[in-house]
A and B are shown apart, each in its own frame.
Chain A
Amino acid sequence: MPTPAPLIEMRGITKSFGAVKANEAVDLSVAPGEILGLLGENGAGKTTLMNVLFGAYAPDAGEILIQGKPVRITSSADALAAGIGMVHQHFHLAPRLTVLENLLIGIPGKAGRIDRAGGLARLAEIGRQHGLTLDPDLAVSALSVGEQQRLEIVKALFRGARLLILDEPTAVLAPTEVDGLFSALRSMAAQGLGIIFISHKLNEVRALTHRCTVLRHGRVAGRVDDPANTTSAAMAQLMCGHEIVPPARGASTPGADVLTLDGISTSQHSGTALRGVSLAVRAGEILGIAGVSGNGQRALAEVISGVRAPDAGQMTIAGQNVSRFSPREVQALGLGRIPEDRMTTGLVTNLPLADSMVLPRIGTAAFSAKGLLKPDAIRAFAEAQIKAYDIRCPGPMTRAGALSGGNLQKALLARELAFDPKVLIVSQPTRGLDIGAARFIHEKFLDMRAKGCGIIVIGEDLEELLVLCDRIAVMYEGRIVGTLDSADATIARLGLMMTGAEGHS
């Protein structure tokens, strides 16, 4: 790809949060028609840098040039006016308004009236050009996550973005949706748009991007000029500063069933209900639950955690019927849980990290006696885990919400593993984590497996499941359509089963 004059150039950007230097003298440029990958470990400063570009943060030093001219971007309105669009990890949409209304927010109409016809025409045109079709009259709350993301992209194009920033767009997508996103991005680049793409999945980066900038500890650690012909291992080395070897899953001899589900069904409540799910996890085994998210995984995790009682069927832990047990009771029997959604069902972001770390076991003798907390024990526990798991934070009294994604995940892992669970239920354990952190988490799971823990991993990332799991069950529309030994499983076969085709085991 020839390099014409850069569309956007960031020079010497520095941004600190108190003592933390999130960005230090970062240079970055994107040419028209170029897809730039922005890589780096969790907390390397990728999001911060993009927020500076998008006007959400004012940099402490440095300048931004658009087509060679210095500009001052002090708000997202400035950024949009300068032709910069950003798709955040958390979408900024009005859920009750329709697709078209969301597009027209903030766009001046003709003589105070909303230009509906014009909007419809633009929407149809953008859809045709890049394959980004959306029903204009559907309410946003009725859209899938993938469609909401598409709307965010269309919104940016609608406002005339010439540079599009996507912060970990694939973390929320199913594998099939990723393909659609990529072809849209390629088509946009072909028309001369610049794109900045953030992802922790190196195979995606290699497939999509033309060039990469790698950040480490807020500084530019290096650049990759030909990602397609660079190995993931080499990129990982740039990101982390050392080599990352995938963990080896040795053979194991599973013991007795530690958790069984027999004909579990739930009522339609929120999301897909379970329809007669039966499965068993043995001690010392990792069972994967593959499936496009939204096929009942949430209900499954809720039933196993005791948050939701099944309407029919029976669940046992270590042989004991626990179908009607509360979350506290299943915990007491040795169930550990690492939720998919760290911020909403896992941690209390506004309270000190230590509080989140002892939350599930606050009533036990370890952390309280006769209704009184043991503040020293709580603090000591949190400090010990912070050390053992290398959780990067100023200390146990830091607000949990201030930690980066990888560190939050380590904290959740630490709080469960510290109590040697017999069964562990985990959803999307490495979503949004850099490969070093993901590697660390995988190792911990394998350690637990060796210790005789039965682990259920719910996930969409088939490669991850194949590395980690002994057996993989596939879920579709609230049912288990089949279970494969991972020796027999291939991505193609699992992918087929995930669309509802019956499997055989």
Chain B
Amino acid sequence: MFRLEVRTSTPAWFNLALPLLAIGATLVLCSGLIALAGAGVLEAYGVMFTASLGDSYAITETMVRAAPMIFTGLAVAVAFRAKFWNIGAEGQLLAGAVASCFVGAIPMPGPLAMVLMAVAGAAAGAAVALVPATLRVKFKVDDVVSSLLLNSVIYYALMALIEGPWKDTFSGYPISPPIEDSANFPVLLEGTRLHLGVVVALIAAPLIWFLIVRTTLGFRIRVTGENPEAARYGGINVERVLLSTALLSGALAGLAGVGEVGGVHFQVMSDISPGYGYSGIVVAMLARLNPLGVVPAAIFLAAVMTGAEAMSRATGVPAFLSDVIQGTALLAMLVALLFTAYRIRRVGAVR
């Protein structure tokens, strides 16, 4: 018989081993579904791998997809550290996209436009995140519910915008007017879509790590998340920390939207995000809320998404498998996290 026993400390190598374990378990579990869909498991995973990481072009495509999830992953990681349950990265991303598209459509010098797009997008995301945080701080409204519901509000507001004032009068499609060409983020590698925003995302991760680990704000975020009562007695203004966290988290999610507008789509449409905000939760959990871990976790999910499309074309397994893998990875990681707090012991060894 086996049972769980509480641990007092977690070995450092767990940080690496657990996500790998979770990913391994996910691939094993999902292979059953692939087989069910009538395809060869190894073949399907093989196609997924080649299509997402097999050559340099595939790698750039995966990175382009990873960038928004790095931002939303950071947004969620920061928020969850403070136990501000921000499930609203999706809505904050959309708000960021709309704001940056609005700014990007105004004629001005390119570099200035890009900076202002980022500022506007971050501000919009932050403003949206402030809503659930304020509701929680002032009225004790559950932030999970309010931030989640706000996603729909923002989504339908976006739809109203592109079906209404922004609607393309020429084609009649529900898409916004494009941003100025000069505002398009520069492409870093000829012949690929690898844009400046990807690099910004890669730089953001260590910056946020530094903020969490080395600044007083980061300290207050961590303490508030772990024990708000001790924080309050220790002279930390818990409400202010929660609001600051929300601003930071929302701004990061907003930047995910900025990157999609400035570097990938150059306009806003209804499906500008295939759920990058929700994937951010998976990314943050796989990373164990460590900002540095967000980068590999986002790249993994991006590879799954890119790979799943190719696999679907090659083997006929529905591309929905990508969603299943994401969901399974989240569950597997939650189970794996149990092992940071508990160890499994074999019992019956008495005498």
Contact = CB atoms under 8 A, between A and B. Distances in A.
A279 B71 CA distance: 55
A5 B223 CA distance: 53
Contact of B232 (A18, A72, A327, A331): A327
Contacts of A74: 1, 3, 347-348, 350
A72 B346 CA distance: 13
A70 B216 CA distance: 56
Nearest to A415: B234
A413 to B, nearest CB: 15
Contact of A72 (B5, B233, B350): B350
A339 B234 CA distance: 11
Nearest to A330: B235
Contacts of B229: 344-345
29 contacts: A63-B350, A74-B3, A75-B3, A307-B233, A326-B235, A326-B237, A327-B233, A328-B236, A337-B233, A345-B229, A345-B230, A345-B233, A346-B233, A347-B230, A348-B226, A348-B231, A349-B226, A351-B222, A355-B219, A355-B222, A355-B223, A359-B223, A359-B230, A359-B234, A360-B233, A360-B235, A362-B219, A362-B220, A368-B219
B232 A307 contact: yes
Contacts of B230: 344-348, 356, 359
A362 B237 CA distance: 13
Interface stretch (A28-36, A371-379, A473-481): A371-379
Interface residues of B, number: 31
B169 interface: no
B345 interface: yes
Contact of B223 (A17, A72, A351, A401): A351
Contacts of A349: 226-227
Interface residues of A, number: 45
A401 B3 CA distance: 22
B8 interface: yes
Interface string A412-433: 0000000000000000000000
B256 to A, nearest CB: 26
Interface in B211-268: 214-220, 222-223, 226-227, 229-237
Nearest to A363: B216
Interface of B, helix, strand, loop or mixed by DSSP: mixed
B273 to A, nearest CB: 33
Nearest to A367: B216
A84 to B, nearest CB: 15
Contacts of B56: none
Interface in B131-190: none
Interface of B: 1, 3, 5, 8-9, 214-220, 222-223, 226-227, 229-237, 345, 347-351
Contacts of A17: 8
A331 B216 contact: no
Contacts of A339: 233
A489 to B, nearest CB: 30
A372 B3 contact: no
Closest 4 CB pairs of A and B: A328-B235, A402-B8, A359-B234, A327-B235
A158 interface: no
A392 interface: no
A60 B345 CA distance: 11
Contact of A375 (B5, B214, B349): B214
Contacts of B236: 328, 359
A345 B231 CA distance: 8
Contacts of A337: 233
B214 A331 contact: no
Contacts of A344: 227, 229-230
Contacts of B345: 58
A360 B351 contact: no
A402 B6 CA distance: 11
A170 interface: no
A399 interface: yes
Contact of B9 (A305, A359, A398): A398
Interface in A450-498: none
B289 to A, nearest CB: 12
Nearest to B346: A58
Contacts of B347: 58, 74
B216 A362 contact: yes
Contacts of B8: 17-18, 399, 401-402
A64 interface: yes
Interface string A7-18: 000000000011
A356 B231 CA distance: 9
Residue among B5, B219, B233 facing the most chain A CB atoms (10 A cut-off): B233
